[in-house]
Amino acid sequence: MKTGVLNLQGCKSLSRPIDRKKLGLKMKFESETSSEDESNTSSFTQINSEDEDVSRMKHYIDLWWNANTIIGKIFRFVYNSEVGVSSEELKNYIIEIKAGISWNTDIITNNKDKNYSLIFYKTNNDIIKLKEVVLQYVKEKYEN
């Protein structure tokens, strides 16, 4: 028989008796201090996640900067445009370099599966730009 853990966080009393033995459960009561620890852990996890995102962003920029690949060309095209590029300009450029139109869709929609959202963003005016952190990193690493 499988045993599980019944979490009664925040419960002061039970409204009906529970046959733990029959259900194969073990009672697990948590104190208020453990919930405070969880909130500290979640903020640490969020900071850790942001650090991982920055690390991944730098990794992708390093891969794409001098690469003669489709994404490398698109990255430099957007970077060389100081004010960003419109969706239409990006689409025309992608056609010009003979890449599939799915590249346009992935970048414009910030496809999170492909991590483009770490690098590119789309403004309300339908302009594709590089994030400010990306611009700072490129200036620091490649232009000095």
Mean pLDDT value of segment 3-19: 57
- Which sign does the torsion angle of CA 120, 60, 97, 101 carry? negative
pLDDT confidence tier of residue 126, bands split at 50, 70 and 90:
confident
User: Looking at 21-131, which runs of residues are DSSP E strands?
Assistant: 25-28, 85-86, 120-122, 127-130
Which of 2-16, 36-50, 101-115: highest mean pLDDT? 101-115
111 three-class SS: coil
Provide the residue ranges of all domains of the chain, joining segments of one domain with +. 1-45, 52-142
Model pTM score? 0.61
Tell me the two tokens of residue 14. Answer: 């039970």
Decide: 100 and 74 in contact? Cβ < 8 Å.
Answer: no
Mean pLDDT value of segment 117-137: 88
- Please give the Cα distance from 90 to 105 (Å, whole number): 10
